[in-house]
Amino acid sequence: MEQFLGLPPLASVHGAEIDNLISLIHWLMLILFVGWGIYFIYALIRFRAPRQPKADYGGVKGHFSSYIEVGVAIFEGVLLLGFAFPIWGMVKYEIPSESESTVVRVVSEQFVWNIHYPGADGIFGRTSIDLVDSETNPLGLDYDDPYAKDDITTINQLHLPVDKPVIIHLSAKDVIHSFFLPVMRVKQDAIPGMTIPVWFIPNRTGESEIACSQLCGLGHYRMRGFLTVETQEEYDGWLAEQAALLEDEEDGWW
């Protein structure tokens, strides 16, 4: 399906439904394009000047065009009510339990993605705007908070386990960005002052891109991150490596 439509490879559970909806919309647009093209050619031939030397101001007497309009409206209604609304409701309101999911914070800013993992205790440490430092502490983590001591942060590197629900709490520090994972069929604006949950289930391992699909400034073109989906064992190993690096940093501080 994705090859036929020119879409990137599919790597999420809900993505197939979105691809099906995109396919149906494309079929509708193709039918309308071909239909109106045929009618346009017919009108050029049927109503050319030699055959219509005198204008007819009576207009069309039949109702064929009205039937077509009703048919298109019904098709669009089916797309909305039968496909789009159920997908929207599932993605936005059927959020899985955090206890059964991988929970990550993603904080966007010009022009990077700040990734925040809660660490071994599973609890995000306290953050404060007063502690934000673009070089050493872009998330404003309060390291006096015991829950923050094991938190893991990365820049532009998002690691996730396969076949497990993922909940991303998305926010922005400066302007509106748009968090876009093409292979997951996930796109959501990140809005300053709001924290927006996004969830999906990766079902294929591999590496792909995190894009910003909202023009966010002169450096928008370089706001590019990387998503790595791996097995649970590989993911746990990566977390252990990050925790070890964190301990080394703390030993260096003290």
> What are the DSSP calls for 106-170, one per residue?
EEEETTEEEEEE-TTTT-PPPB-GGG-BTTTBTT-B-TTSGGGTT-EEEESEEEEETTS-EEEEE
Phi, psi of 68 (to 5 degrees): -65, -45
Q: How far apart are CA 212 and CA 190, in angstroms?
A: 10
Q: Which of 79-93, 143-157, 206-220, 233-247 has the least mean pLDDT?
A: 79-93
Amino acid 181: pLDDT: 96
Count of beta carbons in the 10 Å neighbourhood of residue 194: 11
Amino acid 69: pLDDT: 85
Q: How far apart are CA 191 and CA 180, in angstroms?
A: 14
The domain spans of the chain are 2-93, 98-253
Q: Residue 186: pLDDT above 90?
A: yes
At residue 17, what is the residue type? E
Phi, psi of 107 (to 5 degrees): -115, 115
What is the CATH code for 2-93?
A: 1.10.287
Amino acid 253: pLDDT: 47
Amino acid 78: pLDDT: 87
Q: Which of 90-99, 194-203, 210-219 has the least mean pLDDT?
A: 90-99
Q: Which residue has the tokens 């879409």?
A: 7
Q: How far apart are CA 253 and CA 247, in angstroms?
A: 10
Q: How far apart are CA 101 and CA 164, in angstroms?
A: 6
Amino acid 48: pLDDT: 80
Q: How many helical (H) and strand (E) elements, i.e. helices and strands, does the chain have? A: 5, 10
Q: Which of 7-21, 54-68, 145-159, 231-245 has the least mean pLDDT?
A: 54-68
Q: How confident is the model at residue 254 (pLDDT cuts 50, 70, 90)?
A: very low
Percent pLDDT > 90 in the chain is 57
Query: Average pLDDT over the chain, rounded to whole?
Result: 89
CATH architecture of 98-253: Sandwich (2.60)
Amino acid 4: pLDDT: 61
pTM of the model: 0.83
Reduce the DSSP state of residue 213 to 3 states and report it: coil
Amino acid 65: pLDDT: 76
Q: Which of 47-56, 150-159, 206-215 has the least mean pLDDT?
A: 47-56
Phi, psi of 55 (to 5 degrees): -65, 140
Mean pLDDT over 139-152 rounds to 91
The pair of structure tokens assigned to 43 is: 């009108």
Instruction: Tell me the pLDDT tens digit for each residue of 225-247.
Output: 999 999 999 999 999 999 888 77
Beta bridge partners of 109: 112
The number of C-alpha atoms within 13 Å of 191 and in the hemisphere containing its C-beta is 8
Q: pLDDT higher for 120 or 105?
A: 105
The pair of structure tokens assigned to 236 is: 């746990």
At residue 111, what is the residue type? F
Mean pLDDT over 83-112 rounds to 90
Amino acid 170: pLDDT: 96
Q: pLDDT higher for 181 or 52?
A: 181
